[in-house]
Structure formats: structure tokens, C-alpha cells
Structure 1
Amino acid sequence: MPQHFDAIVIGTGQGGAPLAVRLGKSGRETAVVERGAFGGTCVNVGCTPTKSYVASARAAHVARHAADLGVQISGTIAVDLAAVKARKDKIIGGSRDGVEKWLRGADNVTVFQGHARFTGPHSLAISTPDDTPLTELSADEIFINTGMRAVVPPLPGLERIRFYTNSSLLELTELPAHLVIVGASYIALEFAQIFRRFGSRVTVLVRGERILSREDADFAESVHTVLAREGVEFMFGVQPSRVEPHPHHENDVCIGFEQNIPALEASHLLFATGREPNTDDLGLDAAGIQTDRHGIIPVDGQLRTNVPGVWAIGDVNGRGAFTHTSYDDFQIVAANLLDGGVRSGVRSGMHSGARSDEDSGMHSGSRSADTRIMAYAVFVDPPLARVGMSEAQVRESGRDALIATMPMTRVGRARERGETDGFMKALVDAQTQQILGAAIHGIEGDEAIHTFIDMMTAGAPYPVLQYAMHIHPTISELVPTLLDGLKPLK
């Protein structure tokens, strides 16, 4: 007979862990199942470790250019990758242990370690690597938060070589002599700059004619200019067709191309060609839970799947695939299910879900992912941050719009720091004065973009931001000046 709970959360990522705790606080007897490391992608192989590497890489870069600011540093600037990794491991270890301790100490929460597979719409079997007997669980409410993993293209010869993904590259303790990266989007470019600043030769293989194909061409060119100036090499319009071991250098790789160009030699090969959801081994068919052809679980605005009483949050639902969207997914579910919104799939006799103010941290009532304004950043240095619509999307919409751009050379803070790469852009609706979108490639752009995010979330017209008094000298103080330059989008 399955052990019955009021709720089960599968996965302890940035949506699943806080949701399990909130469900327990609401009075629901909650099971949380984790088959790997607590904390999910962000804590273990995503944001936390990579941004610790970004910090180390920036420190090396600043030290090499200290003389530009009148600071003399003698000797060669070198990076000890083993020490960088040790620092990273300490940071993620603390975060991972903190998540596990938080869950194990939460009211009404029981932690199971193992792999969960659906055996029915509201039942699961939990298996462990040591082949202990299956643990069977059932619940009225089930929440899937199993994240994504890196995609490795099926190239001929792959089984004969050593290659890396974003996860395994973080385990290196010696710098690559020549790192070749397949892919030209966010993860690829962050690693490209990191390892170039560490001291490796880096080559990025780009299938198309520019990097960041989903961004406006001017921002893609701006990022490319910075990375190329730092020594990152780019090969455009190339597609790897095969890989094989180097005939003379052990562990090195030779990469062949569809195009008639010489093979490329690399000491290390990183695939950053996309990610796929961890849904193929969940037994979703047994539950009747639908997926699309990519394995994504479609959900409605309240993140409900096609099966009543089953939700999908985080990367697996295709609604963002960022840490902040995963956490917002948690807040949406909690607001609707626990804070006065819709409650479905709850058996009679359950607690009402009453909460204290300290439990909440969100508005009660109905919330929807359908009204969420997408925002994100690419953590190259300087970062590229964006919210809402791009210029290309606004043009495609055909609406009457205004646009403004401003180079970072006009920003006092950027000049004082000696970091004037990039520019700002804003787009607004000419009729409603609503901000449609904004992007910043520049120093502290990942923070300054929040001035736009907050205004757009509040639904405030752009003059509210245009006439705001900001502190000098900051990056954000030039946002009102940027809006002073709005002109028709032609």
C-alpha cells in the first residue's frame, strides 16, 4: 500500500525546495523527492558555480589592467584553476547543505532520496541506486520540478573522445591549453570569456553568422566586439560533422566540419548547444501527463498540467528556464493554492492553508505566468541584460513605437571605472506610453535593468521613470536621460 501524503514535490531546485516548505507550513503533509544534489541546477552546476568563476575571471582581468587606473602590479597575473574550483566547491557545498538542512528541518516535510517515476496520475515509485525495495508514494497534489540537462549532439566519433558539458567543465583543476566551444549563446559565451581570462586559448564555433541569434544584432555585435578584443576567437558559419582523437597528443581532439575547411585541434571540447528537460525517465505516460516533442510539459498560466492535481514548475514547463522564473513559478503556485486562490485536487478534511504574514512574502489571490514580463541577463563582462520585447520583436509587431539608445561612454560611472563598452536601448508604445522593452549592455547593466523591470511590472507610463530623480554617480541615473532621447521607430 503506497504511503499517502497531501503533496509531493519532485526535485529540490529553486522552485521545488521553497514550495515544499510552504506546503508543509500550510499544514499539508508533504514529501519531497531528490535523486541528485539538493538545490538543483542553479546551486550545483548553474548560476552559483559559474558566477563564482566569473568573479575569479574578472579579478584576473582587473589585475591585468590595473595600470590603466594608475595601479602598478609587478609580475605575471596567473590563475590557479584548482584554487578557483576549491572556492567554487566551498560555495556550492554551503548552499547545497543549507537547502538539505532547511528541507529536513521543515514542518510536515519528509525527504526521500531516490529517483521518482509515476505509476499513475497521483502515485509514484521511488528507486535508489543500491536496489533497495521500491518506496511507493501517493498524493492529491504533485509538483514536478526536475530541471534540464545539457544536450550533446550525436556526432560521429564522440564515443572515442573526452568532451565536456557545462557541468563537467567545472570539475577541471588544470587550465585547458585550447578550449573549443560548440555553441554561441549564453552559456557558451560566459565560459568563453571566463577561460580566456583564466589564460586559455578559446575558440567559439558559431553555426550562423553571428552570436546571440535571439538578441538584436547591435547587441550581439557589441558583445562580440568585447570578447574578440579580449582574445576569444570565433569561427562563423561552421558546423562540426565529426570528432576523433588527436593522432599524436593524448586526450586532445580533432574536430572536422561539414564545410571544406581544415580540421581544428583542441585540448578540450565543450558542448554548449542547448538543454533538454529531465522528463524522459519520469514515467509521465503512466500518469497521462502530456509533453511536447521536446519533452517540455505544457502548463496553463497557473502552471497546471493536463492532469488535475499535477503541476510542473521550473525549467521543465518551458516558461523561462531561469532561476528567477523558477522561483516565480513557486510564488505563482503558492499564491493560487495557499494564499486565497484556486485550490484543486485537495482531499476533504485537509487544513485550510491559513498562513501567517511571515510565511507569505507574496500577494494573495490569483497569479498567472501568462502575465509575467520576461527578463534575464547574459553574465559576460560587461553583462547584457534585457526585459520585455526586443527591437526586432517591436518591429515585427508593427505597432507605433518610440526608441532611444545611448552609449555607455555617456555614463559617468562607466567613465570613472574605465569600462565604457556597450550601450542602452529602450522601446515604448507611442500611444499608451507603456515601456515595451529595454536592454543594457554595459557595466552593472544587470542591476540597472531593474529600473525598467519595476516600472513595467507596475504598468507605469515611461514619463514616471523619465522624471524620476536618481542618485549620482550611478548607471541608473542615465536611464531618465536615455528616455529624454525617445524618437519614432522607423
Structure 2
Amino acid sequence: MRYDLAVIGSGGAAFAAAIAARRKGRTVIMIERGTVGGTCVNTGCVPSKALLAAAKARHIALRQHFPGIRTTAGEVDMASVTEAKRALVDTMRTAKYVDLAADLGWEILTGSARFVDGPAVDVDLAAGGRTRVDAEHYLVATGSTPWTPPITGLTAVGYLTSTTAMELTTLPRSLLVIGGNHVGLEQAQLFARLGTRVTVVEQEDRLAPGEEPEISAGIERVLADEGIAVQTGSTVSSVRREDDLVIAGHRTAGTTDDEIPAQAVLVATGRRPVTDGLGLADVGVEHGPRGEVPVDENLRTQNPRIWAAGDVTGHPQYVYVAAAHGTLVADNALDGARRTLDYHHLPRVTFTSPQIAAAGLTEAQAIEQGHVCECRVLPLEHVPRALVDRNTRGLIKLVAERHTGRLLGAHVLADGAGDVISTAVYALANHMTVTQMADMWCPYLTMAEGIKLAAQTFTRDVTKLSCCAS
């Protein structure tokens, strides 16, 4: 049988493409060498946020700040926490992936795929034997995997990644997290709130180096308040084991070498595309400089019948980007739609507590692109929702074009920032000005009102407003 679309991988991009193709009445086959569902449901979004929610519940029980309310929290039964996470993942994988494929009518082959002349795909089946898949179009949606930098001794002593850390059934007494971006920050706070003593080392001069400096400073204060040690501008060069401890040697700019002892090390230094064993070069598709599969704006590779989507392309590594890619490939490959995507208002969220969320340009990016900017920073102490929640840790920063007032970027450090940023996404998508944002309806006593208040700071002093008069 010759299929309309053969998909290699079974994550967000793969399923979005397969669903879109089946809705068009086209034939689909999917090939997966590992666990069906890809990163998000198995080792990424779902399990990490489930564990973060559990850790937050314990943290609130230990440190809730409302007068007259008493709560306590005991030791953590990590085996039970991890088992509950696994049960959730298994349920979602079955309902949203395995059963869905069966319901919509495509087969999932379990095995390793490799391109051969044609192009076609040879599949070494996990159950034994080999089969060949022929299709009009092929989609590479194999995702990404944690990347480990070359640190002397790391392999010998053993280390955790964001994937393996979420399978622990006992908590380490102490943990060194190498990497202070979104994954490292989430994992650091997760384990600290469960009772582990945590140190974060980041080679850049601040945490969350891709965010606004005010956001970086704010999240560092939060971590310090929760007892997490942070060393920025520091590079881990070697590790060795002494008894039950790992000793990490590191150098901080302008200082001598130092050492950090910890019972375990978690490496959170980014992810790299998964393309090993695919044989892409044999069908005219070369890798990019970071191992990604190069694609044009329509997500077509150098071979006109082979497409790529999601993390493997080197595009922003978010599951909603992968899903949008998958649908786009189905339209372009099967209908010749020649669609493209606009990333200028793409949101991003780091699920620390408070969350970090942003959309659009940072101030530095706007200046680099030639904009004359005007920016405002609103501390959460001026947002009524934060006041009644007794949690004013955070801020909202808006970046606007000075002569037009058009919003260029929004950056939020707050509880619920991932929901708040949607307001800015719509404003950016519709090229709104901060004046228009300041005059829009917004329900009172919501964190989203902070975006409106931040917009109002461009033309008025919000400290002189009554609590519910805008």
C-alpha cells in the first residue's frame, strides 16, 4: 500500500499532522521507535507540571501567608508522588494518543525508520523483521532530547536529566542543577519545595538569560527566598565522586576555581534535535549546524517529498509550535496550500512559581531591530489581585514603540503569568497600541488587569488611582 503521508515520530507535531490528514480523507501511517506520545505527554509538559503542582501544594502547606490559617506538611513519599504522575501520564497517553489513532484510523508501527532511495522508509520492527513504507509525502517529527555539555567525569559519576529526574522514587538530600533557564529553574524549584537542598549554576551572567533583566533579578530573589543557592556567570568544568557525593569543579568569572558538593547532579542545558539513524543524507537532506533538519518557510526539506515539523526543525521548542507545524505540513503537503506561520507574537512560559511569561520582543531585541523604544515596569504591589492574594512577588514590563505607542513585547513575572500573557498575545497579533490596551475592558481583581495597568503607566500615574478606578 502506498500512503498519502508517512509520519516518523508520534508527538505533538506528528499527531497534529496525522489528524489533519485523516480529516482530509487521506491515508496515514506512523512510525515510532520509542513510547507513543512524544516528549510532551511522556517526559515534558504533563509530568513536569504534575510534579510542580504537587511540590507547590507542599510549599503552600509549609509557608502559607494568610493570618489565622494554620497548615503543616510532613516528609514527602516520593515513590507515591512519582507513581501518581505515572498514572496520569499513562491515562493521557492512552486516551489522547493510542486510542485516538485507532479511532481516526491510522496504524502506528513500532520500530526504527531509515530513509532509502525513492524516497521510501525501511522500518526495523521492534517485534522482529523489516518492512518498507512507501508514501507520497513523508514527515520527520522526531522531536528533541536533553543535551549534555562535555564536562569531564560526568558520564562516569552518573547524572540526571529533566527526563530521568522525574522518575526518582527517593529524593536526593542535595542537588546541583547545571543550567538556569526554563527547565533548570522549574526543576530546581520543584526539588527544593519537596525538601532537597538545591544549588543552580548558570554560565550566563543571570538566570533566565533570554528574558528581561528585571525578570531575571525577580526570579533570583524568589529562589533565594526559598533557600535555593544561585551562582551565575559560572561554568562547571569537571565532576568526580567522593563516597556518596558528587564534587563539581566550577569557575566563576573573575574568581578562582571552586567546588560544589551534592548528592546528585541534574543537567538542564538545553535540548537537541533527534535525527540519529534516519539516513536523511541518503535522500538529500543535510543537517543544520545544531543538528536540526533544515526547512523552508513551508516546512519542506531539501527533498521535495520530505517535510519536518516541531523540535527537530530547530524552531522554538514548544508543543503548540509543534502542533501548528503538523497541521501546516498536512495542508502544504496534501493540498499545496503554501501556508506559513507568524512567530512575532509567540508566547513562552516558564512554570516556576511565580511563573515567567513573555510574548514579542525584549527591550534589547527591539533596539537591535532598530525600534526607538519606550518601556514601563509595573511592580505587582500596584496590582489589586496580587495584593488580595498577599503575593506581590513579580512585575509586568511592556515594551512599546515610542512614536506610535504600538506594543512590541510584554513580560510578566507573576502567579498565573501564563494565562495573563494571552492578553498581550492578542494585542501583539492585532498591532494594538498601549493607549488602546489601557482603554480596553478588563475584569477587576484578575491578574490580567495588570497588563491594562501597565499600559496605563505610559500616560498616567497608577499609584494615584483608587483600587478599582482605572
Q: CA deviation at 1:159?
A: 3.4
Helix, strand or coil for the counterpart of 1:167? helix
**1:379, CA displacement in angstroms?**
0.8
Match of 2:51 among 50, 53, 56: 53
Q: Distance in 2 between the 1:285 and 1:4 partners?
A: 23
- Distance in 1, Cα, partners of 2:20 & 2:342: 23
Q: TM-score normalised to the size of structure 2? A: 0.92
Deviations, residues 229-274 of structure 1 (Å, cap 9, x unaligned)? 100011233322222221x33xx32222356434322111111111
Q: Which residue of 2 aligns with 1:291?
A: 287
The answer to whether 1:239 aligns with 2:235 is yes
Shift of the alpha carbon at 1:138?
A: 1.4
- In the alignment, is the contact (CA less than 8 A) between 1:13 and 1:39 conserved in 2? yes
| TM-score, scaled to structure 1 | 0.89
Q: Output the amino acid matched with 1:316.
A: V
- Deviation track 1:208-248 (CA, whole Å, cap 9, x = no partner) reads 321112122111111111011100011233322222221x3
2:312 aligned residue (311, 316, 325): 316
Given the superposition, is the C-alpha separation of residues 477 and 157 from structure 1 closer, same or farther in structure 2, using an over 3 Å criterion? Answer: closer
Please give the alpha-carbon distance, in whole angstroms, between the structure 2 residues aligned to 1:415 and 1:471: 16
For 1:253, the equivalent position in structure 2 comes to: 246
2:4 is equivalent to residue 11 of structure 1: no
Shift of 1:198: 0.5
Is residue 355–residue 414 contact of structure 2 (8 Å, CA) maintained in 1? Answer: yes
Q: Distance in 2 between matches of 1:310 and 1:59?
A: 46
Report the Cα distance in structure 2 between the residues aligned to 1:374 and 1:45, rounded to whole angstroms: 23
Q: State the Cα RMSD in Å.
A: 2.0
How many Å separate the matches in 2 of 1:120 and 1:228?
56
Gaps of 5+ in 1: 344-364
Deviation at 1:371, TM superposition (A): 5.0
Q: Give 5+ residue unaligned stretches, structure 2.
A: 460-470
Partner of 1:32 in structure 2?
30
Give the residue type in structure 2 aligned to 1:253. V
- What is the CA–CA distance in structure 2 between the aligned matches of 1:129 and 1:439, rounded to whole Å? 46
Counterpart residue number, 1:360 = none
Percent of residue pairs bearing the same amino acid type: 29
Instruction: Indicate the residue corresponding to 1:219 in structure 2.
Output: 215
CA contact (8 A) 1:402 1:427 kept: yes
| Structure 2 counterpart of 1:128 | 125
Counterpart CA distance in 2 for 1:430 and 1:255 is 47
Give the distance between the partners of 2:383 and 2:373, measured in 1 at CA.
25
1:321–1:121 distance in 2 versus 1, CA, 3 Å: farther
Summarize deviations over 1:421-458 as a string: whole Å, max 9, x none. Answer: 11001122234443211011012111011001012223
**Mean Cα displacement is larger for which, 458-467 or 300-309?**
458-467
Change (3 A) 1:121 1:61: farther
Q: Equivalents in 2 of 1:261, 1:295: separation in Å?
A: 33
Q: Hey, what does 1:474 align to over in structure 2? A: 446
SS of the residue aligned with 1:135?
strand
Offset at residue 374 of structure 1 (A): 2.3
Q: 1:266 aligns with which of 262, 265, 274?
A: 262
> Match for 2:166: what amino acid?
L
* 3-state SS in 2 of match to 1:449: helix
User: Which whole-Å CA distance do the structure 2 matches of 1:188 and 1:400 have between them?
Assistant: 34
Matched, 1:174 2:146: no
What are the within-5 Å matches in structure 2 for residues 84-483 of structure 1? 84-98=81-95, 99-107=97-105, 109-120=106-117, 122-129=119-126, 132-246=128-242, 248-249=243-244, 252-258=245-251, 260-337=256-333, 343=336, 367-370=339-342, 372-483=344-455
Give, in angstroms, the shift of residue 67 of structure 1.
5.0
* Map of 1:23 onto structure 2: 21
Q: CA deviation at 1:461?
A: 3.7
| Structure 1 residues 385-417: Cα deviation after superposition (integer angstroms, max 9, x where no partner) | 000100111122232233222111111111111
Contact 2:179-2:200 within 8 A present in 1 as well: yes
Match of 1:348 in 2: none
CA distance in 1: counterparts of 2:344 and 2:8, whole angstroms: 24
Could you tell me how far 1:121 is from its partner in structure 2?
A: 5.4
Q: C-alpha displacement at 1:86, in angstroms?
A: 1.2
1:366 Cα offset (Å): 5.3
Helix, strand or coil at the partner of 1:32:
strand
Q: Where does structure 1 differ by over 6 angstroms across 4 or more consecutive aligned residues?
A: none
Cα 1:399–1:156 shift into 2, 3 Å: closer
Q: Which amino acid aligns with 1:50?
A: S
Deviation at 1:293, TM superposition (A): 1.7
Letter in structure 2 aligned against 1:422 = G
